[in-house]
Amino acid sequence: MNAPFIVDAHVHTGYPAVFFSPEVDSAALLRRMDQFDIQYAVNLGSMRNLLGITVKEMEKSQKEYEESEGRLFYCGFFDPRRGMEDITVLEKAAGLRGFKGIKIHPSFNRVPAEDERYDTVWRFAEEHDLPIVAHSWSVSSYNPVQALSSPGRFEPFASKYSGVRFVLAHSGGRGEGRGEAVRMAKKYENVFMDLSGDIYCFNYFENMVKENIMDKILFGSDYPWVDLRSHLTRVYLSDLPTIEKQKVLRETALKVFKLG
């Protein structure tokens, strides 16, 4: 292709808060997108989203979408502890062209992924034909709250709401978490995985290729947490046929988020 064609299904704007990053605004992101042939990106929000400043952040994300001339789409955020307060914000955004999904983060919110309070947002996603993107990770001895987002804990909702396109961000993390994410992607037609995160395991992408799930994997960089090139090179340097690489880098994200 001679024009930008890649879809980055997992980016953020705004300061990460846990470390310094010199590039955190939409202008810097767009420059990077132009550099690496990325046509569209899906912004999963900033640390402010997680902290509950949802209305202003949604307005900021919509403004970034408009200023990018339709290249920076975005997701809203749902915290089950706020419940209907967040649903009200999502309702207001539902008719906007830049709004393309909902992010949940059980580990940050300290509410396990199978908690019944999430039913509200799954039902909202079903009613509005929106995907849900969830932080997912493996059980961690040094970061115990990650256990609240282990892939298998999402299974009751993924099964109940089979019409909701569901993305396991970070593909379940490392080791057993990734294996569980792969199992769910193979079992459920509506379950997908993205490549984002600081995961540098040996043969990480090659092992997922062997599982024959290339139509379930989305490229995601986790910018600015991770350099865009980190996961791009995994796809480019793999032995996948070009048509399979195009699924990972573009086609599956277009389908999941209904972009364009």
Specify the CATH number for the domain of residue 229: 3.20.20.140
What letters, b where the CB count within 10 A reaches 16 and e where it falls short, cover 3-16?
A: eeebbbbbbbbbee
Q: What is the predicted pLDDT for the residue at 53?
A: 67
Q: How many CB atoms lie within 10 A of CB 140?
A: 16
Summarised one tens digit per residue, pLDDT across range 85-96 is 999 999 999 989
Look at residue 151 and give its three-state secondary structure: helix
Average of pLDDT values for 52-59? 82
Q: Count how many domains the chain has.
A: 1
The pTM of this model reads 0.96
Tell me the average pLDDT of the chain. Answer: 93
Average confidence (pLDDT) over 31-54: 89
State which residues form the domain around 57. 6-257
207 vs 147, more confident: 147
Residue 68 lies in a domain: yes
Of the given ranges (17-21, 121-125, 141-145), which has the lowest mean pLDDT?
17-21
The verdict on residue 49 lying in a domain is yes
Does residue 175 register a pLDDT over 90? no
> What are the residues facing 166 on neighbouring strands?
132, 191
pLDDT digits (tens, 9 = 90+) for 61-71: 999 999 999 99
Q: Please report whether residue 204 resides in a domain.
A: yes
Radius of gyration over every alpha carbon of the chain, rounded to an integer in angstroms: 17
pLDDT higher than 90, residue 257:
yes
Q: How far is residue 249's CA from residue 8's CA, in Å, rounded to a whole number?
A: 7
SS3 content of the chain, % helix, strand, coil (to 5): 45, 15, 40
pLDDT for position 73? 98
Please indicate, yes or no, if residue 134 is contained in any of the structural domains: yes
35 in any annotated domain: yes
Q: Is residue 1 part of a domain?
A: no
pLDDT value at 111 more than 60: yes
pLDDT at res. 1: 57
